[in-house]
Amino acid sequence: MTGWPLADAVHVGSPGVVRPAFESWQWRAGNTFVSLLARAGVGPIQLLTTHDRSTGEPHTIPVVPVEQGGARWLVAPYGTVGWVRNAREDRRVRLRYGRTTRDYETREVGADEAGPVLKRYVAVATKTRSQFGATKDSPVADFAAEAARHPVFELVAISSGAASGGTSSTDP
């Protein structure tokens, strides 16, 4: 049992890899709960906001950014989902953790750079391990081999003078 609601799950990629039922009430309830934790600054989960590539409307979801090689990264464990397409189009995202909000530019990376980041992600984000063919003990090459199914973005902080509306803020 993976802990994710799989009632309407579909198989993707490698055998044994399933995509959770994103529209299920269990999935939405789980996202609501972890979003509350992120707003409180509890745990590793942060809130990612992207702007819809069609409407420009903001969309916010919980994510687990990882630190690897002195950089900060976002991993898409479920493949090319909405936030990935939005980040590819806009190339700017916002992360919130507790009362702190920071804006970033994104840079999508290839398999060679993604391999070590994916390995680190699987070690940190345990609930999504079932989405990977490689295990936490697999060599980096195994993660690089499946990088096309899990987009990886480097996050480059935007300096406060470079973005409109400020980048790093603390709510009152």
Beta bridge partners of 91: none
How does pLDDT run across 110-131, given as a tens digit for each residue?
999 999 999 999 999 988 898 9
CB 46 within 8 A of CB 95: yes
| Nearest alpha carbon to residue 166 among 83, 103, 90, 76 | 103
Amino acid at 167: T
Give CA separation, 162 vs 92, 93, 107, in Å: 12, 14, 17
What integer pLDDT is reported at residue 127 of this predicted model? 86
Q: Is 164 within the bounds of a domain?
A: no
Average pLDDT over residues 125-152: 93
**What is the rounded CA–CA span in Å between residue 50 and residue 56?**
9
Average pLDDT over residues 90-99: 94
Amino acid at 150: H
**What is the rounded CA–CA span in Å between residue 56 and residue 134?**
36
159 pLDDT tier (thresholds 50, 70, 90): confident
The residue segments making up the domain with residue 108 are 10-159
Q: Is 4 within the bounds of a domain?
A: no
Report pTM: 0.78
- State how many domains the chain has: 1
Q: Is 170 within the bounds of a domain?
A: no
pLDDT reading at 172 higher than 50: no
CATH number for 95: 2.30.110.10
CB 167 within 8 A of CB 158: yes
Q: Is 165 within the bounds of a domain?
A: no
Q: Is 167 within the bounds of a domain?
A: no
How does pLDDT run across 26-78, given as a tens digit for each residue?
656 766 766 766 777 777 889 999 999 999 999 998 999 999 999 999 999 99
